[in-house]
Amino acid sequence: MAKRLAAVGHEGDNVYKFSASNSFKRVMKQFGTSDKGLNQEEVTASRQNNGANVITTEKQESFFVKVVKAYITSFTMILIILAVISFVTDYLIVPADEKDITAVIIISVMVILSGTLTLVQSVRSTNAAEKLTKLVRVTATVTRKEREKVELPIEEIVCGDIVNLSAGDMIPADIRLFQAKDLFVSQSAMTGESQPVEKIIDVDTDTDKAMTDFLNMAYMGSNVISGSAKGVVVRVGDDTLFGNIAQDLTKKKGVTSFELGISSVSWVLIRFMFVMAPTVLLINGFTKGDWLEAFLFGLSVAVGLTPEMLPMIVTTNLVKGATGMASKGTIIKNINSIQNFGAIDVLCTDKTGTLTQDRIVLEYHLDADGKEDDRVLRHAFFNSYYQTGLKNLLDVAIIEATEQELDIEKEDYEKVDEIPFDFERRRMSVVIRDALGKTQMITKGAIEEMLVVSHFVEQNGAAVPLTDELRNKILRTVDDLNGDGLRVLGVAQKTNPRVQGEFSVSDETEMVLIGYLAFLDPPKETTQPALEALKKHQVQVKVLTGDNALVTRTVCNQVGLQNEKMLSGTDIEMMSDEVLKMKLEDTNIFVKLSPKQKTRIVKVLRESGSTVGFLGDGINDAPAMKEADVGISVDTAVDIAKESADVILLEKDLMVLERGITSGRETFGNIIKYIKMTASSNFGNMFSVVVASLFLPFLPMLPIQLLFLNLIYDISCVSLPWDNVDEEYLETPKKWDASSIGSFMRWIGPTSSVFDITTYILLYFLICPAVVGGPFTSLGAQDQALFIALFHAGWFVESLWSQTLVIHALRTPKIPFIQSRASFIVTTITFIGIGVGTILPSTALGAQLGMVALPTQFFFWLALTIVAYLALATLLKKIYIRRFGELL
C-alpha cells in the first residue's frame, strides 16, 4: 500500500487533492479497501504502513524530566544554595575540631523529602490521569469485513477503514466521503468558522483551493452537526490536517486562577524571605558581633521561610481528589479543573435523563382523535427503524414497543431515502417502498413543527384539510397529555411523493397528520434529594431543555421545583443581554431552547460573576458545555459532548454530581489550609526572631536547631491532604482569592509571636535563672553556655508545639479538638512530631544539637502557654471571620 501511495505521488497535501478530485472507487482502490471495509490482516498492514491514529502533540515527560522538575524548584534551589553555603562555612573553612556537617544533612533531607514526595505524586498524577482517560473512550462506527459494523476506539482506526458517521459523532480521521445525506459538519476547530458546512460526495476538480474547502472531505477535529454519511479514511494521526496543525502549535494547557494564585503566593513568600533573612542577619551581626554566626542564622531563617512542601502538598491534594472522585463516579479529565468544580454556584442541566430516569417508555400511540391506533405505531416504527442518523431514546422506545405489540415483516419494505433530524426543524423523515411498489414519506417530530408541514389530518380513515378548529383541538389534546407529564411527538405521512433526485427538507410539505406518540420519562427517585443537597451546598440549579413548557413544568413539580418562573426560547430571543441577565436572577426553568440559546444563557451567567457548570450529553449541549466554566458530561454521551467536557460522570445522576462538587471543595480546602497555615506561621516565627534578635544577648536558636524544627514541621504537613474538612466549609462554593492570603498572614501570624515573646520572658527571667543559679549577665562562661542551651531547648519545644498545633488551630473556624477534629492521619503524625521534638533535648542527639533537658516546671508554663495560644487564636479567628467573611 505504501508503495502505491508513493507511486501516485500524493504525499502531504497531494493526498487530499487526489482523494477529493478522484472517484471514491479509485480512492478505495488506492487504499486497498472496498465498501465492506478491511479484514484484520489488512488493518495490521495499514497501521504499519500509514501509522496509528494517535496525535502526539504533547510528548509525555520522561522520568528524567520528572525527576529534574521534582527536585529543582524555586524552593529547593534556595535550599540547595543554602546547603552549599553552609557546607563551605561550617565544614570547609573552619578548623578540623569545629567542622560540623549537620546543617547540610538536615537541609539535604528537606530537599530529598520534598523532591521525592513531589516525584512520587507526579508519577501518581500521570498514572491516574491515564487511567481516568481510559475510562472515557471516544469511539467511531467502522465497517470491517469480519464483523460488519463495529464500535471501535478512534485510536484503532487505520487508513482504508470505512467509517459511518451520524449526528453527534467526532470525525475520527481525515475521510473521503462517498455517501452523505444532509450532512452538516462543524469545522470551527479547523477554520474558526462558526457556521456548519454542508458536505457532498461529488468529485471536486478544483485542486487549487484550501484543503478545508473540499466539500467531499471530512477532517479530524470537526464534528457532525446533523445528517449521516460514510467515508474512507485517507489520513490518520499526526498525518491528518489536525495533526499537522497541532504539531505546528505549542499547545499549553490553560493556567487556572488557582495555579496563578499558588504561584503568586509562592513568590510572595520568597520575596518575604529575601527581606527577612538579611534583616535578621544585620540585626544579629550588629547586636551580637559574631557575623559568621549571624550569617548562618540568617540562612536558617531563609530555610524556615521557604515553603518547600508546597508543590508536593498541591500535587498530592489534586491526585487524591481526582482518584477519590473517580471512586465516587466522577472522572476529572484535567486535575487542575478541580478548583473550578468546587467553585460552581450555578448548575445548568438538561431535563431528560438528569431529572428523569433516562428510561423512556412509549405509553400511547393515538390517532388524531385520541384513540389507540396500531397504524400510528407501525408508521413510527418505520421512521425510527430505517433512519441512520442520531437514534435517541424515543426511537429505542418506539422499536421496543413495536416488537412487543406488532408483527412487521421488515423484508417486505425497503428504504428509499431519508432526511435526517436536526435541532432547528426538530423532525426527521424516511421514505420507504413496500413490496407492491407503494412509496411513503413518514415524518415524526415535535407537534408544533409537524403542524407546520401538515396540510391534512386523518379522521375516520380519510384525509381532511387542517383547519384552525382542528389545529386547536389537536393542541388541546397534546396539552392534556403534556399536563400528565407525557412528551408528545406527531406522526405524519405522504403517499407516493414525487421528487426529482434525492429527497430534501423542501419535500416535507402537504403531509397528512395521522396521530401522536406519547412517551413517559418518570423522574428519578434520587432527583429531589439531590436538588435539596445542591441547594444546601448553595448551588443554584437551572433547567435548560428543548422540551415544551407543560411537560417540563410537570416533571419539575414532581422533583420539588414548584412555583419556579419559566422562560421559553421565544421569550429569550426577544431580550437583550442586559434584560436576560436580570431575568436569570430569579428564573430557573427554560424551555424550548435551541443550542445557541443554551450557550447564550451560560455566557450571560458567567458575565454576571457566577461560576457555571453545564451538565449535558447531546450534540446540542456541546457549545454550552464549552462556554461553561466546567463542562460536565456522562460516559454514554455523544462523542462531541465528552470531548467538550472537563468532567465525566459515570452515572447521569445529580447525586453523583453533588458528591463530586463537595470533593472538589474538600480538595481546595486542604490545599488552602497549607498555604494559609504556612504563610501565617512563617510570618509569626520570623517576627518572633526579629524581636528576640533585638533584645537577647545571644541567638534565640542555633541555625541547626531552626533547621531541625522546620524539618519536623514539614513532615507533619505531609499529612494534610488526608485531613477532614468541616461540613460547613463544604456548603459554600470556593473561589480562589489571593488577597485573603495577605490579610490572613497579617492577622493570624503575630498570634504565635505573642506567646513566643512570653516564652522568651519566662525562659530568660524565670526558668533559666532558677535552674542555672542566676541571671545571664551574672554568670561565668560555662554557666552562660548552660543558660543558652536551656533557653534554646525551651524555645525549640515551645515553637514546635505552637507551630504544629497551628495546624489544628487554623484548619477550622471552630474550637480545635472540641468542635472539630483533624483526621486520624493528621492527628497521629502531628503528635508524633510533637512527641519527638519534646523529648529531643533529653537525648544524645539533642545534646549534639546544643540543647539540654528541660526542668519539670517548664512544662507547666508550656501547658499554660499553649492553652492561652489556642484561646487567642480562636478569638482572633472569630474576629477575622466577622471582618473578612471566612477563615479559609
CATH of the domain at 416: 3.40.1110.10
C-alpha span between 397 and 401 (Å, rounded):
6
Instruction: Looking at the structure, tell me whether residues 367 and 384 fall in a common domain.
Output: yes
Give yes or no for residue 251 having a pLDDT over 50. no
pLDDT at 252: 45
- Side-chain-facing half-sphere of 476: CA atoms under 13 Å: 7
Q: What is the mean pLDDT of residues 229-235?
A: 90
Instruction: Looking at the structure, tell me whether residues 477 and 569 fall in a common domain.
Output: no
Q: What is the mean pLDDT of residues 641-670?
A: 77
pLDDT at 66: 73
Collect all residues with Cβ–Cβ distance below 8 Å to 685 and sequence separation of at least 6. 304, 752, 753, 756, 799, 803
- Strands 587-591 and 565-568 come out as parallel
Compute how many other C-beta atoms are within 10 angstroms of the C-beta atom of residue 757.
Answer: 16
* Residues 34 and 4 sit within 8 Å (Cβ to Cβ): no
Ramachandran angles phi, psi of 589, nearest 5°: -125, 125
Write out the three cell numbers for 846: 539533642
* Residues 665 and 338 sit within 8 Å (Cβ to Cβ): no
Separation of CA 840 from chain center: 46
Question: Which residue would you say has higher pLDDT here, 213 or 587?
Answer: 587
Q: What is the mean pLDDT of residues 597-617?
A: 86
Question: Which residue would you say has higher pLDDT here, 237 or 119?
Answer: 237
Q: How far is CA 404 from CA 55, 374, 409, 515, 518, in A?
A: 46, 12, 14, 20, 17
C-alpha span between 555 and 296 (Å, rounded):
71
Instruction: Looking at the structure, tell me whether residues 835 and 713 fall in a common domain.
Output: yes
- Residue whose C-alpha cell reads 434520587 in the numeric block: 526
pLDDT at 793: 92
pLDDT at 738: 64
Which of the listed residues 520, 540, 556 is the one where a domain comes to its end? 520
pLDDT at 117: 67
Ramachandran angles phi, psi of 572, nearest 5°: -65, -35
Question: Which residue would you say has higher pLDDT here, 350 or 402?
Answer: 402
C-alpha span between 132 and 155 (Å, rounded):
16
pLDDT at 259: 59
C-alpha span between 193 and 431 (Å, rounded):
33
C-alpha span between 33 and 540 (Å, rounded):
54
C-alpha span between 715 and 826 (Å, rounded):
11
Give yes or no for residue 790 having a pLDDT over 90. yes
Which of the listed residues 474, 504, 520 is the one where a domain comes to its end? 520
At residue 506, the 3 state secondary structure works out as helix
The region of weakest confidence among 223-227, 451-455, 874-878 is 223-227
pLDDT at 82: 67
pLDDT at 492: 93
C-alpha span between 759 and 861 (Å, rounded):
8
Within a domain: 255: no
Instruction: Looking at the structure, tell me whether residues 370 and 501 fall in a common domain.
Output: yes
Identify the helix (H) or strand (E) that includes residue 348: strand 346-349
Instruction: Looking at the structure, tell me whether residues 646 and 666 fall in a common domain.
Output: no
C-alpha span between 855 and 245 (Å, rounded):
73
CATH of the domain at 290: 1.20.1110.10
* Element counts in the chain: helices (H) and strands (E): 33, 23
pLDDT at 454: 92
Instruction: Looking at the structure, tell me whether residues 673 and 634 fall in a common domain.
Output: no
Q: What is the pLDDT of residues 132-166, one digit of tens each?
A: 555 556 778 888 887 778 888 888 889 889 898 88
User: Assign residue 758 a region: left if phi > 0, alpha if psi is -120 to 50, beta otherwise?
Assistant: alpha
pLDDT at 642: 67
* Residues 606 and 628 sit within 8 Å (Cβ to Cβ): yes
- Strands 486-495 and 511-520 come out as antiparallel
Q: How far apart are the first and last CA of the chain?
A: 63
Range of the domain at 365: 361-520
Nearest Cα neighbor of 220 from 195, 253, 187 is: 187
Within a domain: 151: yes
Extended strands (E) in 190-327:
197-199, 217-218, 223-235
* Residues 717 and 808 sit within 8 Å (Cβ to Cβ): no
Identify the helix (H) or strand (E) that includes residue 487: strand 486-495
Q: What is the pLDDT of residues 260-306, one digit of tens each?
A: 666 666 676 677 777 777 877 787 777 767 776 677 677 667 666 66
CATH of the domain at 538: 3.40.50.1000
Separation of CA 365 from chain center: 43
- Strands 174-186 and 217-218 come out as antiparallel
Identify the helix (H) or strand (E) that includes residue 478: helix 468-483
Instruction: Looking at the structure, tell me whether residues 305 and 345 fall in a common domain.
Output: no
Within a domain: 78: no
Q: What is the mean pLDDT of residues 327-353?
A: 76
Q: In the β-sheet with 612-615, what is the strand arrangement from edge to edge? A: 330-332, 647-649, 630-634, 612-615, 346-349, 540-544, 587-591, 565-568
Q: What is the mean pLDDT of residues 96-124?
A: 71
The region of weakest confidence among 251-260, 481-490, 718-727 is 251-260
C-alpha span between 269 and 276 (Å, rounded):
10
Identify the helix (H) or strand (E) that includes residue 672: helix 654-695
Tell me the sheet residues that pair with 615. 349, 632
Write out the three cell numbers for 574: 426577544
Which one is catalytic: 161, 350, 547, 621? 350
C-alpha span between 742 and 318 (Å, rounded):
24
Q: What is the pLDDT of residues 175-218, one digit of tens each?
A: 999 888 778 887 765 654 556 778 888 887 776 776 777 888 88
- Residue whose C-alpha cell reads 442586559 in the numeric block: 578
Q: What angle do the packed helices 703-717 and 654-695 form, to 10 degrees? A: 170
Instruction: Looking at the structure, tell me whether residues 724 and 848 fall in a common domain.
Output: yes
The identity of residue 203, as a single letter, is: V
At residue 67, the 3 state secondary structure works out as helix
Within a domain: 286: yes
Give yes or no for residue 256 having a pLDDT over 60. no
Nearest Cα neighbor of 176 from 141, 215, 207 is: 215
Instruction: Looking at the structure, tell me whether residues 436 and 406 fall in a common domain.
Output: yes
Within a domain: 107: no
Q: How far is CA 478 from CA 96, 456, 472, in A?
A: 99, 17, 10
Measured at the alpha carbon of residue 721, what is the angle toward residues 719 and 722, in degrees to the nearest 5? 70
What pTM was estimated for this model as a whole?
A: 0.65
* Residues 167 and 422 sit within 8 Å (Cβ to Cβ): yes
Instruction: Looking at the structure, tell me whether residues 441 and 576 fall in a common domain.
Output: no
Give yes or no for residue 237 having a pLDDT over 60. yes
C-alpha span between 832 and 816 (Å, rounded):
18
Within a domain: 59: no
Q: What percent of the chain has pLDDT over 90?
A: 6
Q: What angle do the packed helices 654-695 and 291-305 form, to 10 degrees? A: 170
* Residues 517 and 492 sit within 8 Å (Cβ to Cβ): no
Written as one string, the DSSP assignment of 537-566 is TT-EEEEE-SS-HHHHHHHHHHTT-TT-EE
Question: Which residue would you say has higher pLDDT here, 314 or 448?
Answer: 448
Q: Which of 398-412, 609-623, 735-749 has the highest mean pLDDT?
A: 398-412
Q: What is the mean pLDDT of residues 37-52?
A: 87
Mean pLDDT for the chain?
Answer: 79
Identify the band that residue 662 occupies on the pLDDT scale cut at 50, 70 and 90: confident
Instruction: Looking at the structure, tell me whether residues 671 and 772 fall in a common domain.
Output: yes
CATH of the domain at 157: 2.70.150.10
* Residues 789 and 818 sit within 8 Å (Cβ to Cβ): no
DSSP state of 356: B
C-alpha span between 632 and 651 (Å, rounded):
11
Give yes or no for residue 443 having a pLDDT over 90. yes
Instruction: Looking at the structure, tell me whether residues 637 and 747 fall in a common domain.
Output: no
Q: What is the mean pLDDT of residues 795-801?
A: 89
Which of the listed residues 520, 547, 573 is the one where a domain comes to its end? 520
13 classed as catalytic: no
Collect all residues with Cβ–Cβ distance below 8 Å to 167 and sequence separation of at least 6. 224, 225, 226, 227, 228, 389, 390, 420, 421, 422, 619, 638
Question: Which residue would you say has higher pLDDT here, 208 or 772?
Answer: 772
Ramachandran angles phi, psi of 250, nearest 5°: -90, 95
Q: What is the pLDDT of residues 28-42, one digit of tens each?
A: 888 888 888 888 888
Compute how many other C-beta atoms are within 10 angstroms of the C-beta atom of residue 412.
Answer: 10
Q: What is the mean pLDDT of residues 865-885?
A: 86
Give yes or no for residue 855 having a pLDDT over 60. yes
Total number of domains in the chain: 4
